[in-house]
Amino acid sequence: MTKTIERPLLGITIGDPGGIGPEICAKALNDPDIYTICRPLLIGDAAIMANAVSFCNLDLNINGCQDVSDGRFIPGTLDVLDLGNMPLAQLKHKTVTPAQGKAAFEYIDTVIRLALDKKIDGTVTGPINKAAINAAGFHYAGHTEIYGDKTGTTDFAMMLVDEDFRVTHVSTHVSLRQACDRVQTQRVLKVIQLTDLTLKRLNIKTPRIAVAGLNPHCGEGGLFGDEDETEIFPAVKAARALGILAEGPMPADTVFSKMKGGMYDVVVVMYHDQGHIPAKLVGFQFDNKTDTWGQMAGVNVTIGLPIVRTSVDHGTAFDRAGEGRANPQSMIEAIKLGAQLSQKD
């Protein structure tokens, strides 16, 4: 007898109400195929979602929920766990406001608690505005740091995924000076280990991990810095001793081309822009003639947490919020990957 696998229940935050988060959530869940892989529950405000449905001209019903058990999880209906913390009269598209930052933070806090309490199987997050979050009194650099704090996790990292193009970061939202200081053997080793475990969860049995160098040409024998020899190489050596198929440090100006060509499954990078620039060059396509993003691919995954968290790999796009022209591609991909990672055995 074939065992029926229940679709994972995903909590999806709508992001900053003044950005494109509500719109891309509505558009993503307008795709009936999403309901074949998961049970999506939006975490936000029912009135905000009704407004997004309206200006996007979508034929969707709103089911305001007070509890997870109120969800219907059927195509054509948006199930919204309604926190009621953002009155529609106070909504300001394209604008940073403390009220919207507070609402966005409360969506995140709620979805994390639901996941920790095992009421949902995984979490997906819409884009937030860091200035708005901080203006509301919540002093975090971003989603990744909120999740680390709220789950009591110290060893976590950011991974960007666009199909077979993957990068994991040793550091993210810190200054470049601080990023260099954070390239330390134990941290690099931990990120390699977390990366290996995550790819195995994605059914890659023996992940091939390339580790980028910090300095140009990996320091050129110490001429341009010694961190590659003193911090990164020992981490790669230790990882290999643990049975992890890691190589490096490798020059960052060629390693991404090698991964794109199929030589590696992922690149461990040393800082934010070293990973984000190539990932977004591959995943994002802007057309200046039409002033549209023809493609906004890629998913942000926080690895090392006790719960699943995937996210869009873009911001709130205040410049086009409330206009009905935001591209939901990254949200759709985040939901799909979140469903895969949350699938029960």
* Average pLDDT of span 36-42: 97
What pTM was estimated for this model as a whole? Answer: 0.89
Q: Is residue 279 predicted with pLDDT exceeding 90?
A: no
Give the torsion through C-alpha atoms of 108, 109, 111, 112, to 10 deg: 110
Q: Is residue 345 predicted with pLDDT exceeding 80?
A: no
In this predicted structure, what is the pLDDT of residue 315? 85
Q: Is residue 287 predicted with pLDDT exceeding 70?
A: no
**Position with higher pLDDT, 3 vs 225:** 225
In this predicted structure, what is the pLDDT of residue 5? 65
Q: Is residue 51 predicted with pLDDT exceeding 60?
A: yes
In this predicted structure, what is the pLDDT of residue 331? 95
**Position with higher pLDDT, 294 vs 290:** 290
Under the banding of pLDDT at 50, 70 and 90, the label for residue 2 is very low
In this predicted structure, what is the pLDDT of residue 291? 67
Q: Is residue 75 predicted with pLDDT exceeding 60?
A: yes
Tell me the domains of the chain and their CATH numbers: 9-153+305-342 (3.40.718.10), 157-279 (3.40.718.10)
* Average pLDDT of span 158-182: 93
Q: Are 183 and 170 in contact (CB under 8 A)?
A: yes
Interval 314-329: pLDDT, tens: 889 898 888 999 989 8
Distance CA 76, CA 5 (A): 23
pLDDT, the chain, mean: 92
